[in-house]
Amino acid sequence: MDELKPASKPRTETPSTVLTAPDVLITHEDIDRAHDRDRVRATRTQRGMWSRTRLLWLLVGPGILVMLGENDGPSMLSYAATGARYGIGFFVPFVVLTFLMACVVQEMTVRLGAATHRGHAELIFDRFGPFWGWFSMIDLMVGNFLTLVTEFIAIRAGLGYFGIPPAISVLGAWLVLFAALMAHRYWTWERVTLVAALCNLVFVPVALLSHPHWGAIGSALFTWKPLPGGLTQQTILILLSNIGATVTPWMLFFQQSAIADKGLTTHDIRFGRIDTVLGAALAALAALATIVATAPLFAHGMSTGNFEAAEFAQALQPFVGHWGSALFALGMFEAGMVAAVTISTSSAYAFGEVAHRPHSLNLPFQQGKSFYLVLILEAAAAAGLVLIPGIPLVYIVLLVNVIAVLAMPPALLFLYMLVNDREIMGDLVSPMWANILALAVVVILVGAGILFGISVIAPHALVPLGGR
């Protein structure tokens, strides 16, 4: 079992812990993870297309989950607002670019998680000291909490289309999140969440029902039209919101911790990359479909400045029919629900890693009490805020994506230093081409942040790039 390298994480002795040798403890989560690795190793010894397909099925998960999880409530509302306000010309290729950026960033977390078997917050704590470890964890949890608020906004708005009262929709979603943890098994949690995440593709039939102009979409992809209305404060907000819909700090923490919890090793990095690219392709397809689906609102000059999910669904009914509108609303609910599960899990992972508490979805509740309580209580607090009357929901949604963009460069700096640390990465340190791509992503994010600062401080200094 040389492939089964145990993760370097604190172990807490419990009644189910088995003492096998002096100072060597095998815990409940180790046993569950070993069973998963046994299946992987047995499949590797077989030959044929079926065996390779089964191996891919066993190893994928974190990449698809993190990409489709980032297609969350605020992201899909951002894409809907983009299509409704600006059409497809500029933003179709721009969104494709943002997902390419996400692939560059998340590939580094794949290598880091497989090489170290440790979560992102734990590595920051160990390599840069307790201050930075706690700082990164608290920063993540604050950002995640704000994002969770927007997820429950999407859940409330999506189910509101069907006349479900806000209190029932929000409480029901929180109970679903709680129920998803009851298996106490990473594999089961991942498969159930993965199936739910794939429902993000419900936006594809909505786009088809809008009868898109395929020639215009192809032209937009390969010619990259000018930005409608030029570079204004509003367009910069949408630009940053679209970037924040695909590249955010929680993704680094979640995917690396999920890879460690799943037990992926250096033998699995190639499949981890496939998992990430596949997730990005599926998420990009759903994002582009949302822009295409709402583009008719732009073409007909409809004002959508303060639309929520239910209002978008209602406005789309003349163009996609009743079923299309219902699918759109269900898609918003699904986006918020899956993201609420994955984002709250990333907070729980980070807390456990920095506080040196047990942190695994393979743990029973009593053994992972702090892990599960952080996950459940953070989601409960966010859900409660959404029920406060008079909160400006649409503005919060866009603002949270902008905050995610502004918080990303410091997070990328830690990631860059870790993947280039030969002491922990060995031969898996980032090659030159990967470092160049990572630097390009940082430059784009910093540039977007500077533009946003200019738009707030001196909006008249912006130079229009052209008009519609």
Residue 128 has pLDDT above 50, yes or no: yes
Write down the residue that tokens 């290598």 correspond to.
111
Secondary structure element (H or E) that encloses residue 433, with its range: helix 432-457
Q: Cα–Cα distances in Å, from 255 out to 218, 258, 335, 336, 383?
A: 33, 5, 18, 18, 24
Indicate the range of 332-346, 423-437, 448-462 predicted with least confidence.
448-462
**Summary count for the chain: helices (H), strands (E):** 19, 2
Average pLDDT over residues 253-267: 86
Percent of the chain clearing pLDDT 90 (strictly above): 10
Q: Can you give the pTM of this predicted structure?
A: 0.82
Helices 120-128 and 249-262 sit at what angle, rounded to 10 degrees?
Answer: 100
Domain positions in the chain are: 60-461
Question: Is the CATH number of domain 60-461 1.10.10.60?
Answer: no
Instruction: Give the range among 15-29, 225-239, 453-467 with minimum mean pLDDT.
Output: 15-29
Q: What are phi and psi of 259, to 5 degrees?
A: -65, -40
Going by pLDDT thresholds of 50, 70 and 90, the confidence category of residue 309 is low
Q: How is residue 250 written in tokens?
A: 């929680």
Helix axes 130-160, 73-86, angle to 10 degrees: 60
Structure tokens belonging to residue 90: 């500029």
